Amino acid sequence: MVELLHENPEIYRIDIPLKGNALKNLNCYVLKSRGESVVIDTGFNNPDCKDALDAGLAELGISMNHTNLLITHLHTDHCGLAPGFRSKDSKIYMSKLEHELIRKWKHRKYRWEMDAIFRQEGFPQEALVEAAKRNPMIVYAADTDYDVVPLRDGDKIEIGDLTFTALAMPGHTPEHMCYYLEKEKIMFLGDHILYDITPNITVWPGVKHSLSTYLINLHRMLTYDIEIAYPAHRGIQGKTLPQRVEEITEHHSRRLNEILQVLREHPGSSGYEVASRLTWSLHGESWDTAPKRQIWFAMGETMAHLEYLMEMEKIFRGNKLVNGQRIHTYFLENKL
């Protein structure tokens, strides 16, 4: 399905279904200018996404190997189909750091580092194995390698009459890029800000302070002159950016308070125990029966919040031995 969103510049949305995924859809944006075109994000590397992208591009008279691709971030719902854009007439643009991370993901060592972070919070090994089987970063990854024009914060990309500025907004991922048309006052948000759901913030090997970095960049978005802001998933209007920034900030502050309350009642809980005591919408399932993939996301989010509370010196970390393995435990700072 293709929808014309904006006439000058010409902006279209291709609705890419993400079947079986809680995100439901990807908003793939296509812009045309003076005989050139650019696609922002692709969908998973699976037949449903590929069919929807192919059909949408065909309707617009564009082919993958004769356009350009801007990737907002490394998640496979955004870049799973990127190899199809490789050709001498197309350029693929992406954060330099995130392109390197995609390559690292292919190596077991990096995934082990990620697993080790979860294990030291008490996440059960069998749940890790189960969650990995459905990890979209593995299941729907691009099937072949591809080169990109590596982007850094502030880089300009010229397509027809359009000039995009790549804005590094780390938080949701280590160097998530938003793309800004300054003259037209239009921002492509990727997953940095979504209108209907809260972007997932988690921990990454070698990356510190995901949540505080995210919150800084969340508010940084309000420093740009923006008339229209397009998110990568679900609804594309209905709320203003300042409203969403406030709501998302409140969401995190509620979560942080909830964690403090859990630690007040259960000092010395492991990260996993904290996560299991928080409220999650698990589609009617309990913590123990919910799919391990969902528990894995919840755990990642909890760790990012625990790290933030340590950074703010509201809690501190200890250790305990469980089945011969040393895992982290958390306590409120005395002053609270």
Question: Cβ of residue 95: shortest distance to Zn ion, in angstroms?
Answer: 13
Nearer to Zn ion, 75 or 244 (CB): 75
Return the residue of 121, 191, 273, 301 that touches Zn ion, per CB under 5 A: 191
Listed ranges 35-43, 109-117, 188-196, 316-324: which one lies at the site for Zn ion (CB under 5 A): 188-196
Q: How many CB atoms lie under 10 A from the CB of residue 168? A: 19
Give the count of residues interacting with Zn ion (CB under 5 A). 2
Question: Cβ of residue 156: shortest distance to Zn ion, in angstroms?
Answer: 24
Nearer to Zn ion, 188 or 272 (CB): 188
The yes or no reply on residue 75 touching Zn ion (CB under 5 A) is: yes
Nearer to Zn ion, 13 or 75 (CB): 75
279: Cβ–Cβ under 8 A, 6 or more apart, which residues? 258
Listed ranges 24-32, 53-61, 74-82, 118-126: which one lies at the site for Zn ion (CB under 5 A): 74-82
Question: Cβ of residue 181: shortest distance to Zn ion, in angstroms?
Answer: 21
Q: Taking CB under 5 A as the criterion, which residues in 17-56 touch Zn ion? A: none
Categorise residue 211: left if φ over 0, alpha if ψ from -120 to 50, beta otherwise.
alpha
Question: Cβ of residue 271: shortest distance to Zn ion, in angstroms?
Answer: 22
Nearer to Zn ion, 76 or 276 (CB): 76
Nearer to Zn ion, 146 or 297 (CB): 297
Nearer to Zn ion, 23 or 62 (CB): 23
Nearer to Zn ion, 163 or 198 (CB): 198
Listed ranges 17-25, 138-146, 185-193, 265-273: which one lies at the site for Zn ion (CB under 5 A): 185-193
Burial of 104: CB neighbours in 10 Å, binned 0-12, 13-18, 19+ = middle
Q: Is 334 helix (H, G, I), strand (E, B) or coil?
A: coil
As a whole number of angstroms, the distance between CA 94 and CA 151 comes to 6
Nearer to Zn ion, 115 or 191 (CB): 191
CA angle 142, 148, 152 (to 5 degrees): 120
Residue 184: closest CA among 3, 5, 15, 61: 5
Listed ranges 51-59, 69-77, 203-211, 277-285: which one lies at the site for Zn ion (CB under 5 A): 69-77
Q: At what angle do helices 292-311 and 241-265 cross, to 10 degrees?
A: 90
Listed ranges 38-46, 183-191, 222-230, 290-298: which one lies at the site for Zn ion (CB under 5 A): 183-191
Question: Cβ of residue 198: shortest distance to Zn ion, in angstroms?
Answer: 12
Q: Is 58 helix (H, G, I), strand (E, B) or coil?
A: helix
As a whole number of angstroms, the distance between CA 169 and CA 72 comes to 10
CB 43 within 8 A of CB 26: yes
Beta pairing, strands 91-95 & 68-70: parallel
As a whole number of angstroms, the distance between CA 262 and CA 76 comes to 34
The residues that touch Zn ion, with contacts defined as CB under 5 A, are 75, 191
